[in-house]
Structure 1
Amino acid sequence: MTNTYSPIPELNLLAEFEGGVDDLYAAGFSLDDTFGRDNTFLKDPELEDRLILFAEANASGSLYVLWRVDDRADLATLPVALLGDEGGIHLVARNVREFLRFLASLEEEPCCDWEGGVGFRRSEPTPCRAEYIAWLDRHFGLAPLDDAYDSVEAALTELGKAFTTWIYPLIPEAVYSPCHELNLLWDFEENLDDDYAAGFGLAVEYGEYGYGEAPENPELADRLVPFALANSSGSLYALWRVDDRTDLATLPVVVLGGEDGIHLIARDLCEFLQFLASLEGEPWNDGGRIAFRDGEASPGREEYVAWLDRHFGLAPVDDPGAVVEAAEAELGKRFATWLTPRIGHA
C-alpha cells in the first residue's frame, strides 16, 4: 500500500503507518489491500453503490465500510459503519478522523449481528498500539476516546435517524425498528444489565404481538404497532398510527392488553420516554383509567435518566399521570371517535 492507497489523505497516511509496523496496532484491524474492493456480495445495487469497503474489523471477517450518505466530494467526512460477518450493519463513527480515534480506543475487537448493536469481544494483543497513538497525535493532534463506544453513540445520535431512513427499506432487520428513537432505546437497553422503568421492556420483535393476541379487527392490528411490554400482566405499549406520517416519533403512544382495553398514554414518543423515566410502579387499567401500582424506582433508572438527557435534553416529569391526562385532553376525543366503531366501546 502506498500514499495513493485511496482518495482519502487520512487513510493514505494510515496505510503508510501500517506498512511500517510489524504487528497489530488496533484490535482486529487491518486495511484492505485494495480500497473500495469488490462488494457485489452485498447483492443490492443501492448497497453496492453506497457502501465502500476499506478494512477488516475483526478476526472472523467483519468489515469497516464508508457510508455514502450523500454525494459529497470529501470522502473523509463520510460516516464509518461496521458490516458484521454474522450479519448486521451499524454506525461506529461520524467521519474518518473520529474513526481513527475509535481505533485507538479499542480494548477488544468490535462485533455485531442482526440481534443487537455494536459489541466487543476478546482479541489478539495489539503490540503496536502505543506507536499508533503517537502517530495519531503527531499527524492529527488527536487522542484516543475515553471509551470506544463513545464514537458509536455519537454516530447514532447525530446520524441514526438518516441511517434508519435509508437502511430500513433495504434491510429491515438491520435496525430494531423504522423509528430512530426506539433504535436508540434498543441500543441503550442492550448495553444495560438492569431494568430501568417499571414493567417495561422492548419487544424482541418490533411490531409483533409477542406477549398477547393481536386485535381481531384488522384495522386495529394495522394501526396499533406494539413495541414494548408495559406491565407484568402482559399489556403492551404501541404506537397509534393516527395517520400516514413518516416521522414515527411524533405518533401517540397507547397501552393495550386483553381485558385492560386500549388507553392513551402519551402524545408522542419523546413524551413517552419522559413518562417512563418517572415510573415507580407499573401502569394498569383501574376501572377504565390508567393507574400505577406501588413500587420502587428500577435499578437502572439513573442510567436511563442520564441517557434521556444526553440524547434528547429531556428529564423525567413530576407525575406520569399528568402525561396521560395531557394525551387524553389533546387526543382523547379523536381516539374515541376512531376506536369505538372498531371495538364497540372506548
Structure 2
Amino acid sequence: MTDTYSPIPELNLLAEFEGSVDDLYAAGFSLDTFGRDNTFLKDPELEARLILFAEANASGSLYALWRVDDRTDLATLPVAILGDEGGIHLVARDIREFLQFLASLEEEPCCDWDEPLGFRDSEPVPCRDEYLAWLDRNFGLAPLEDPYDSVEAALMELGKAFTTWIYPLIPDAVYSPCHELNLLWEFEESLDGDYAAGFGLAVEFGEYGYGEAPENPELAESLVPFAVANSSDALYVLWRVDDRTDLATLPVAMLSSEGEVHLIARDMREFLQFLASLDGEPWNDSGRIAFRDSEESPGREAYIAWLDRHFGLAPVDAPGTVVEAAQAELGERFAAWLAPRVGRA
C-alpha cells in the first residue's frame, strides 16, 4: 500500500504502518481496498453512502465510512460496521476516534440483526504495542477506556440521524424508527435483569406479540406497541395523534389486556422518566391507572444513570405526576378520539 491508498491522510498513514508490521495490530482488523465494490448491498442509496475500507473480523464483517452528508473532508465522516451475519452499527464519530476504537479492542467486534454490537474472542494481536506507539506518535491519541465508549458517543451524537436514514432502507438495522427507543434497546440488551417495574421492550416494534390487538383496525393502526407494561400482558403504545415523523414526540399510552387505553406520557422522554419512577407496575384498575407491588428491579439504578447520561433526565417524585400531566394536556383530545373507536358515546 502507498500514500495514495485513500483520500484520507489518517488512513494513508495507517496503510504505511500496516505495511511495516508483519502481524495483526488490532483485533480482527486489516485494511482492504479503499472504496472497494459494494454493489452486494443492492441498494443505490446504500452504495452511494457507504464507503468500504477495511475488514472488521475474521468472518468477513466490514468497516465503512458513512456519508452522512456531502462534506469533502472524509476523515470527519462516521464509521460503521457491516456484519457478515447482517446488521449495521455505528462505531465511531470520525476516523481518529475510530483509530482509538481499534486500539481499545481486546476482542474482535461482531454484528447481526438481532443484537447490538458485541465482541468475541479473536486471534492474538502480536503488534498491538507497535500500533499504540504509532497512534500516540502520529496523533497524540491513546486507547479508550472501553471500545464501546466510541460506539456510545456515536449513537448519542449521530444515532437520531442514522435511524432516520437507515430505517426506511433496512428496518431490521435498528430496533425501531424512534432513536430514544433504539438507545433503550441497546441499554436493555446490556443488562441481565429488569430495570423498570413490569417493563420490557417488545420482541418486534409495532407488532402485537404480547396481548391482543384491538378489534377496531383503525385503533390498532393508530396505537403502535413497543413494550410490555406489566405481568398481565398490558402494552405500552405510541399514539399516532397525527402524521409527524419524529415518533419520540408522540404521546405514550397503555393498552390493558381488558382493552382499556390510558394516556401515560406526553412524549417519549417524559415516558422514560415515568419508567425511572416506578416502584410498582402499572395496571388498569376499573378504568384508571393504578400501581401495584412488584419485584424490585435490579437494574433500576443503572437505568437511572443511563437516563441522566443520555438525556440529562431524572426520575420524577411519583409516576402518577407524569400521567396527570399527560391527562391535563391531552386527555380531552384523547377521549374524543378514542370514544368512537371503542364504541363509547
**Match in the other structure for 1:170:** 169
For 2:64 and 2:186, locate their aligned partners in 1 and report how far apart those are by CA, in whole Å.
20
The one-character-per-residue Cα deviations of 1:304-344 (angstroms, maximum 9, x if unpaired) are 11110111000011100111111111111000000000002
User: Comparing 74-83 with 213-222, which one deviates more in the overlay?
Assistant: 213-222
**Match in the other structure for 1:237:** 236
**Match in the other structure for 2:209:** 210
The AA in structure 1 aligned to 2:262 is H
| 1:191 Cα offset (Å) | 1.1
**Match in the other structure for 1:328:** 327
State the secondary structure of the residue aligned to 2:198: coil
| 1:260 Cα offset (Å) | 5.3
Paired residues of 1:267 and 1:327 also in contact (CA < 8 A): yes
**Match in the other structure for 2:136:** 137
For 1:257 and 1:90, locate their aligned partners in 2 and report how far apart those are by CA, in whole Å.
34
The 5 Å alignment of 1:19-168 reads 19-32=19-32, 34-168=33-167
The AA in structure 2 aligned to 1:15 is A
The AA in structure 1 aligned to 2:21 is V
Paired residues of 1:260 and 1:284 also in contact (CA < 8 A): no
The AA in structure 2 aligned to 1:139 is N
| 1:258 Cα offset (Å) | 2.6
State the secondary structure of the residue aligned to 1:258: coil
**Match in the other structure for 1:315:** 314
| 1:89 Cα offset (Å) | 0.4
Between the two proteins, the alignment pairs up a number of residues equal to 345
Paired residues of 2:232 and 2:257 also in contact (CA < 8 A): no
For 1:257 and 1:314, locate their aligned partners in 2 and report how far apart those are by CA, in whole Å.
27
The 5 Å alignment of 1:290-305 reads 290-295=289-294, 297-305=296-304
**Match in the other structure for 1:197:** 196
Stretches of structure 2 lacking an aligned partner (at least 5 in a row): none
For 2:268 and 2:8, locate their aligned partners in 1 and report how far apart those are by CA, in whole Å.
40
| 1:297 Cα offset (Å) | 3.9
Paired residues of 2:198 and 2:294 also in contact (CA < 8 A): no
For 1:116 and 1:206, locate their aligned partners in 2 and report how far apart those are by CA, in whole Å.
14
Say yes or no: does 1:16 pair with 2:16: yes
For 2:133 and 2:243, locate their aligned partners in 1 and report how far apart those are by CA, in whole Å.
52
For 1:294 and 1:204, locate their aligned partners in 2 and report how far apart those are by CA, in whole Å.
25
For 1:115 and 1:241, locate their aligned partners in 2 and report how far apart those are by CA, in whole Å.
26
Paired residues of 1:260 and 1:285 also in contact (CA < 8 A): no
The AA in structure 1 aligned to 2:157 is E
| 1:213 Cα offset (Å) | 1.3
Paired residues of 1:168 and 1:175 also in contact (CA < 8 A): yes
**Match in the other structure for 2:286:** 287
| 1:49 Cα offset (Å) | 0.5
| 1:205 Cα offset (Å) | 0.2
For 1:266 and 1:53, locate their aligned partners in 2 and report how far apart those are by CA, in whole Å.
42
The AA in structure 1 aligned to 2:30 is S
- How high is the TM-score relative to the length of structure 1? 0.98
Paired residues of 2:66 and 2:80 also in contact (CA < 8 A): yes
The AA in structure 1 aligned to 2:224 is V
The AA in structure 2 aligned to 1:16 is E
Paired residues of 2:65 and 2:78 also in contact (CA < 8 A): yes
For 1:160 and 1:116, locate their aligned partners in 2 and report how far apart those are by CA, in whole Å.
16
State the secondary structure of the residue aligned to 2:59: coil
State the secondary structure of the residue aligned to 1:282: strand
For 1:154 and 1:297, locate their aligned partners in 2 and report how far apart those are by CA, in whole Å.
30
Following TM superposition, the consecutive aligned residue runs of length 4 or more in structure 1 with deviations greater than 6 angstroms are none
The AA in structure 2 aligned to 1:31 is L
Paired residues of 1:36 and 1:52 also in contact (CA < 8 A): yes
Identity of aligned residues (%): 84
For 1:179 and 1:206, locate their aligned partners in 2 and report how far apart those are by CA, in whole Å.
10
**Match in the other structure for 1:4:** 4
For 1:226 and 1:321, locate their aligned partners in 2 and report how far apart those are by CA, in whole Å.
21
The AA in structure 2 aligned to 1:78 is L
The AA in structure 2 aligned to 1:12 is N
State the secondary structure of the residue aligned to 1:139: helix
The one-character-per-residue Cα deviations of 1:131-175 (angstroms, maximum 9, x if unpaired) are 111110100000000000010000000000000110111111111
The AA in structure 1 aligned to 2:206 is G
For 2:5 and 2:30, locate their aligned partners in 1 and report how far apart those are by CA, in whole Å.
13
For 1:97 and 1:258, locate their aligned partners in 2 and report how far apart those are by CA, in whole Å.
51
For 1:297 and 1:181, locate their aligned partners in 2 and report how far apart those are by CA, in whole Å.
24
| 1:257 Cα offset (Å) | 2.4
- How high is the TM-score relative to the length of structure 2? 0.99
